[in-house]
Structure 1
């Protein structure tokens, strides 16, 4: 099955195609340098250029493309649901970042294949499709790669966009090129949207209305993050009776806010402990140096440092352990919300009954945070002072339990987005 009657390609698309072809050598050098710096082996970097490092599974194959960690995690429930009904179905997952690749290595179900996603250049796209020959291509959230969309459609492969979202900025940009937007969107067999607002937007940009469905946010229906129970039991005694909070998925400039808030928190509670989990653990050296320069006693997870009575900040610079930190800490700041990256997933700490705090910049999860704030399941803080005041006020307060219970209730009441998404994808496959 393929999306019928695609709108004609535009001169703007042709310009894009020509420019990406001409600049392919430059793009490859930049990508190679970036992934090398992140510790990715040369052989795996070649996957970005469409050169496979694994054989194609026999039988039908579904290709999921998710850029980074959050998008990847949102696909896991859909993948599991698809394979429950068809265990022989092959699954290929591609991601762009080294962090997401590390997460895929830990979380992807047995029998599924991970590769780095191909660049949107002629050679990379051609080599990738020639080797993998997917029976269905599934892009996640806001992944609009023009050449890949056109090439997949030309090959007669049905194409879906799931968990789709459009920020106000993205909508403005696409609205300036309506014919090109329609040319690309009309090649999707279906678009499953997080909200009615996104559904209305993609229809307004030219997607036939019968191909757009609101299914809700896949991240809301994801399973809880994995938890190492033995490690939790080992760490618990060193954390007992200490005021404890987690700053999760911090970005540059946010560590300064977190540090300032923790400074005020420790003035009130001298034995308070912060677990600081940066979004990108490869920044840990820089973060640790800045914290030590500020006078903090820092222990580091990746170095195997113990949490002692003198430890004030525990730098959780590892991958795949957020479930552990959410399990141990009663209060979580979900970062990425003080800088313009759009915020991060609030459902993950909600599954662990955490009291959730967040900054004001949460466009990626605007609906979720608005609903959670309205249900007393989360609280917005505007700056370091607000954050410290909330940390202090929640200590030994009935409000802490209220927030924790409301957050957990919100997560467990999330809808059936993944079953609806899996059903739509099965329809395309069949």
Structure 2
């Protein structure tokens, strides 16, 4: 595809988006009816701001969902500590709750506008960002093009391109180059990601490692933890976290297999999408197992088989209840989920083999002996049983995970170094404005 043709395609995308804009109200309303949009704030999806723009320099940071929000939080805190305003956008209700819990009123939270010209125009006209920082793999053509037209520097941080995304962009190299040339800098997670961004035309590209390693250890409310620990007592536990459809059934079957040898077993399941919890509980109960739901405040009774962690922002609680964690989206689904939180919280890590989206992290953990890959439910049951029966080996894996995380730290500093040419002028501007008593 030629450069001229790529620009025609992107121009068509721009104006088609403008034409369909009036019809998207029904789509947003439907999402709101399903709890996927926050009622009363749907206007933000059309670029309508819910608060005034503060005076002084402002950085727009975008993080799509919970994982990206967690990763970018220390970066946002660092920018705010430098005296610069931040408007942080996310795309999900759960990530919005996380922003409120972790950052409060230190930042302005807005839902990201739809990638349609009228919404993006309205958003940018109101906020007038001096810099846009995008986290991970959020490549929105209209947003990138409109920022480019306004000459707003755009930096992609913690950049990642999955095998699937890279293959798709390779089929459209001219479009990729027309978009990526608007990026002032790409800070990639790994050498492989860096090579992929360069191949698609991004310049300059540096590698920082994974920002998620530099996040704080997931918090916990100590009173809640102690209450659950009392309910569990001395029972053996293992957790299956970030599970996707089909994996909960596998985990339940593994529980049944293990209970023959470990009569006091408690299995903790934390689905990636908590709204699926009622259906998950119903399916497991049909197998004759007793399920307790965290969201209902159910007590973990002596005969509870499965504790269903169907709440947001409590991974720090669930992982502190065990020393063995299976990380989902790796058996029945593709790509895997982040294994770094389990490593931070001192668990031996098990996973299926489909972990392409977190390849670098898994390679490091496996090399150091902190994680093991399994291929099916029988192998999963065998691995959990082995770790129950061999506490010394379990501790070796836990210690290896802790060391791996420590060795991987430093991404935040490297990312801030890449951002320095864009941030420092804003720091000086903020100081001058503070002395002069206004925004210029």
Provide TM-score, normalisation by structure 2.
0.92
Q: Which residue of 1 aligns with 2:110?
A: 115
Q: Which residue of 2 aligns with 1:42?
A: 39
The question of whether the paired residues in 1 share the 8 Å contact of 2:159 and 2:187 is answered with: yes
Q: Which residue of 1 aligns with 2:96?
A: 101
Residues matched between the structures, number? 420
| Cα pair distance change 1:39/1:97, threshold 3 Å | closer
Deviations 1:101-135 (A, max 9, x none): 22222222542121111101011101111111111
Task: Quote how far apart the aligned CAs of 1:26 are.
Answer: 4.3
| Cα pair distance change 1:222/1:384, threshold 3 Å | same
The question of whether the paired residues in 1 share the 8 Å contact of 2:31 and 2:37 is answered with: no
Paired with 2:344 and 2:322, the residues of 1 have a C-alpha distance of 13
2:252 is the alignment partner of 1:259: yes
Paired with 1:334 and 1:375, the residues of 2 have a C-alpha distance of 18
Task: Quote how far apart the aligned CAs of 1:366 are.
Answer: 0.5
Q: Which runs of 5+ in 2 are unaligned?
A: 426-440
Deviations 1:254-278 (A, max 9, x none): 1111111111111221210011111
Paired with 2:257 and 2:202, the residues of 1 have a C-alpha distance of 51
Q: Which residue of 2 aligns with 1:126?
A: 121
Paired with 2:63 and 2:262, the residues of 1 have a C-alpha distance of 42
| Cα pair distance change 1:341/1:32, threshold 3 Å | farther
The question of whether the paired residues in 2 share the 8 Å contact of 1:65 and 1:94 is answered with: yes
SS of 1:59's partner is coil
More divergent stretch after superposition (231-240 vs 311-320): 231-240
| Cα pair distance change 1:36/1:308, threshold 3 Å | same
The question of whether the paired residues in 2 share the 8 Å contact of 1:82 and 1:426 is answered with: no
Paired with 1:80 and 1:111, the residues of 2 have a C-alpha distance of 8
2:413 to 379, 397, 419: 419
Paired with 1:395 and 1:62, the residues of 2 have a C-alpha distance of 49
1:377 to 361, 370, 374: 370
Task: Quote how far apart the aligned CAs of 1:15 are.
Answer: 2.5
2:54 to 54, 57, 78: 57
2:307 to 292, 303, 314: 314
The question of whether the paired residues in 2 share the 8 Å contact of 1:69 and 1:100 is answered with: yes
Paired with 1:36 and 1:131, the residues of 2 have a C-alpha distance of 28
| Cα pair distance change 1:45/1:36, threshold 3 Å | farther
2:358 to 365, 375, 378: 365
Paired with 1:41 and 1:139, the residues of 2 have a C-alpha distance of 22
SS of 2:389's partner is coil
Q: Which residue of 1 aligns with 2:395?
A: 401
1:239 to 220, 232, 244: 232
